[in-house]
Structure 1
Amino acid sequence: MKQAAAEQLTPSDHFVEINGLRLHYVQWDSEARERTILLLHGGAANTHWWDAVAPQLTAHGRVIALDFRGHGRSQWERPAHYGPPAYVDDVRKFIEQIGSPVVLVGHSMGGAVAQWTASLYPQLIAALVIIDAPHGSPPLWRRLMWRWRRRARGGGRPELDSAAAIVGRFRLVPPQTYLSRAAIERLAIDCAEQLPNGKWAFRFDPETRAWRRMVGSSLSRPKLRLITAPTLILRGADSTLISPHAMRAMQRRIRGSIVGEIPRAFHHVPLDNPDETAASIAMLIETLAPRRN
């Protein structure tokens, strides 16, 4: 199924309480209920990164995209304790609630969280897809995270006067993309909300950036050799953050894993080329043995 046809499917919004926080997720129902495909977005992103990918996967099972705590429509945490341990525990408990094992797909930060989850809780994972995500802290990632921390020092999230101001302020990080300007503008509005006072603000907690001080620590390097699920490692063919060498190094550490490149894609692979992203995920799912209920 290609993107245009798949977009006719209407997802539903849901909320669930995990670790005392109200987390939001979007579900695309499917007649193929034997599997659940769980999609994890990157830092400062949200479920909308999967809007064009998820409907194309419904032939293979129920598809769910989760907003991490502090992101999208999920609740903010106070005091803030964002970081890999919290995200991983949220994902673990979410999977246990919806039923496991799942096909776990993570992009960027979500890919790092997926690596951790698969290494610590292999019994919950039927298959793993890692998309343009780091293992450890390569120099480009460290510089990117340093910039994010600097931007977080300004305190609370800015309130803007209009939707047009949101569009003007919105930036992908990193900025390279094959999205059209019109698509970027739609994404910007999807990433924002109008407040009761009439102002507009982005739907993520600025405090989520604080966890990036942990990049480079032992917590940023999951034990890939503990991953036992069938694993696909993808990078955008034009990505500047994950090199072919880094992808191959990750492959050597995950037993039996396979790698691939998504053409016409920078770092934001699900946005730049959703059709090829969905096709690659589907290819891995089709190699799995049918589940027995």
Structure 2
Amino acid sequence: MLDWSRPPGCSSGCADTSLPSDHPGYARAMAMSAPLALDDWGGTGPVLHLAHANGFPPGTYRKLIELLKPRYHVVTVRNRWLVPGTDPLEVQTWDDVAGDLIQALEAQGLEGVVGVGHSLGGVATLLAAARQPRLFRAVVALDPVLLTGRLLLAVRGLSLLGIRGWIPPASQARRRRERWSSREEAAEKLRGKPLFQRFDPECFQDYIASGLTSTPEGDFRLTIPRAWEARMFETSPRDAWRSLRSLSVPTLMVRGGDSDVFFPEALERVRRTVPGVRTEELPNTAHLFPLEQPEECGRRILSFLESTHTR
């Protein structure tokens, strides 16, 4: 059995902890210095790392994970937003999330990992593979957040003005309800919301189980604090396209046919920017299709990996 416990140090890519303690960047450097733990979901075969979407803990993907385990040993990074006491300001860009993934894999001496990521997790995995291709044998990005056109220009403009908190997903995340008296109340309130209406029933129950955490007061709160969720929306990449040009490992990108995040224009730009990447669309699904149609999602992942002889 592999030991996924939190290691005491890291190899390459660690933050600079040689800064004096009174330096403005000292606290962030210390926070970013130690590799994050890997959680082991079991399975048989090569190691497969699954990176989740913003706001949805790894447990939400249990059904997809179970479909992958007969052929792969699945692990997930215990990201900063899952570690109590962490500060959302530790992360400045999604490149930091990619760096966390690189450090976690390197700390365990892992190379040739299969990287699967959804949304934020898809972008972080793509960035990590572009920076350290030796760590990955193949990558599957599920509806990654790759912006183009006016939306990309708007995000860049808000960044230059220092007001990225005005981005609607970030402002909405700050206002969302964070606590419920019971899981049953949360399920009743959330099930009818548009975000969850297409969810596979098991995936919805897995979200209620893993997306909420009991508190000492006896109620339940979001496992991923809304401050962290908002921060990740604020720090979405202004331009990941430059990094994608360095992508050299076998890669599949899948777009949900009705996605409001990974638009057809972005898919076409992927085909122009990285011609070697395989692209597919999953009809009648939205951005959260890994949680809407986990069986079909798993089938496509396994089919691609089989075609690349990733065993």
Q: CA deviation at 1:225?
A: 1.1
2:140 is matched with: 129
Matched, 1:238 2:253: no
Matched, 1:16 2:6: yes
Structure-1 separation of matches of 2:88 and 2:288: 30
Residues 174, 138 of structure 1: CA spacing in aligned structure 2 closer, same or farther, 3 A cutoff? farther
1:196 is matched with: 216
Letter in 2 for 1:93: Q
Moved more, 144-153 or 46-55: 144-153
Check whether the contact 1:105–1:130 (CA below 8 A) recurs between aligned residues: yes
Letter in 2 for 1:91: L
1:86 is matched with: 96
Q: CA deviation at 1:251?
A: 2.5
Check whether the contact 1:14–1:24 (CA below 8 A) recurs between aligned residues: yes
Number of residue pairs matched? 273
Q: CA deviation at 1:114?
A: 1.2
Letter in 1 for 2:144: A
Structure-2 separation of matches of 1:239 and 1:197: 38
1:97 is matched with: 107
Check whether the contact 2:247–2:274 (CA below 8 A) recurs between aligned residues: yes
Letter in 2 for 1:25: D
Check whether the contact 2:146–2:261 (CA below 8 A) recurs between aligned residues: no
User: Normalized per residue, which structure has more helix?
Assistant: 2
Matched, 1:261 2:272: no
Check whether the contact 1:177–1:268 (CA below 8 A) recurs between aligned residues: no
Structure-2 separation of matches of 1:128 and 1:226: 13
Structure-1 separation of matches of 2:3 and 2:209: 17
Matching residue within 17, 22, 28 for 2:42: 28
Check whether the contact 1:235–1:261 (CA below 8 A) recurs between aligned residues: yes
Q: Write out per-residue CA displacement over residues 118-156 of structure 1, whole angstroms, 9 at most, x where no aligned residue.
A: 11111111101111112236667969982232245569x
Residues 94, 196 of structure 1: CA spacing in aligned structure 2 closer, same or farther, 3 A cutoff? same
Moved more, 199-208 or 177-186: 177-186
Structure-1 separation of matches of 2:105 and 2:51: 12
Matches within 5 A, 1:202-281: 202-208=222-228, 209-215=230-236, 217-218=238-239, 220-281=240-301
Letter in 1 for 2:90: H
Instruction: Using structure 1 for the length normalisation, give the TM-score.
Output: 0.79
Check whether the contact 2:36–2:104 (CA below 8 A) recurs between aligned residues: no
Residues 128, 164 of structure 1: CA spacing in aligned structure 2 closer, same or farther, 3 A cutoff? same
Matched, 1:50 2:61: yes
Moved more, 39-48 or 259-268: 259-268
Structure-2 separation of matches of 1:15 and 1:45: 22
Structure-1 separation of matches of 2:295 and 2:57: 19
Matching residue within 109, 117, 125 for 2:128: 117
Q: Write out per-residue CA displacement over residues 23-58 of structure 1, whole angstroms, 9 at most, x where no aligned residue.
A: 46242221x3xx211110011111023211122222
1:178 is matched with: 198
* Overall identity of the aligned pairs, in %: 21
- Note the aligned Cα RMSD (angstroms): 3.3
Q: CA deviation at 1:60?
A: 2.6
Q: Which has the greater radius of gyration? A: 2
Determine helix, strand or coil for the equivalent of 2:66: helix
Q: CA deviation at 1:107?
A: 0.5
Determine helix, strand or coil for the equivalent of 1:178: coil
Letter in 2 for 1:278: G
Structure-1 separation of matches of 2:213 and 2:310: 41
Residues 88, 234 of structure 1: CA spacing in aligned structure 2 closer, same or farther, 3 A cutoff? same
Q: Write out per-residue CA displacement over residues 232-285 of structure 1, whole angstroms, 9 at most, x where no aligned residue.
A: 010112323222332121122224111112244211111111111111111221
Letter in 2 for 1:230: P
1:59 is matched with: 70
